[in-house]
Amino acid sequence: MVQLRELDVRQILRDGGMPFQLIMDTFAGLDPGEGVRLHVIFEPVPLIKQLEQRGFAHASRRLADDDWEIDFVPHEPALKAADAVTQTEAIWPDPTWNLDLTDLAPPEPMERILSRLESMKSGEVLFALLNREPVFLFGELKERGHEWVGNFDETGKVYRIMIRATPVDATNDQL
């Protein structure tokens, strides 16, 4: 049976607050195999979809008009982290840059990664260690055309990410 951590954000939502970062921090702090029971005032479909992409199944229960309980439990990973890293190493070159950003608070890790990427050549790889999954960084990387792979280490506490620099003008490099 999966152990569930309780997280109640109903009052934050009723007060007009945005508990997204609190929710993501809670998920980032989970032990391997641990889940979350989330108490909310509506069914947060975008959040559910995002957490499904991060490996969590869910079960939603409507208890009243403005009272929902959603259990998130981890899926069994299709690939172990070590297997994913091995597959990545076969495709990607060794990192040109290695950054340990585990001691920094958001948004500094994202800012440092994006700054470093601006000076990298197309195809170079950056490897970074972070103290949480960089949810907001993913959108920035996608928008800028970079490729990335990432996962938590075996402890579930450190997020590892490899990013292959692909500058927006990379198509001009091929001409």
- pLDDT tens across 72-82, in order? 998 765 444 44
Give the chain's domains with CATH numbers: 4-74 (3.30.110.40), 81-173 (3.30.110.40)
* Average of per-residue pLDDT values in the chain: 83
Query: pLDDT digit string (tens) for 134-168?
Result: 988 988 998 898 988 888 887 778 889 999 998 55
Residue 174: pLDDT above 50? Answer: no
* Residues 32 and 39 sit within 8 Å (Cβ to Cβ): no
Residue 41: pLDDT above 90? Answer: yes
Q: What is the pLDDT of residue 6?
A: 94
Q: What is the pLDDT of residue 81?
A: 45
* Residues 129 and 160 sit within 8 Å (Cβ to Cβ): yes
89: part of which helix (H) or strand (E)? Answer: helix 81-91
Which of the residue ranges 4-18, 24-38, 80-94, 105-119 would you say has the lowest mean pLDDT? Answer: 80-94
Sorted by sequence, the CB contacts under 8 Å of residue 75 that are 6+ apart come out as 55, 56, 57
35-40 and 67-74 strand pairing: antiparallel
Q: What is the pTM of this model?
A: 0.49
User: At which residue do the structure tokens 């958001």 appear?
Assistant: 106
CA distances from 143 to 26, 114, 171 (A): 26, 12, 15
56-64 and 67-74 strand pairing: antiparallel
Q: What is the pLDDT of residue 154?
A: 78
| Mean pLDDT value across residues 38-67 | 89
The percent of residues in the chain predicted with pLDDT above 70, rounded, is 85
CA angle 138, 152, 83 (to 5 degrees): 105
27 closest CA partner among 16, 19, 15, 35: 35
Residue 43: pLDDT above 50? Answer: yes
Which of the residue ranges 67-71, 99-103, 168-172 would you say has the lowest mean pLDDT? Answer: 168-172
Residue 69: pLDDT above 90? Answer: yes
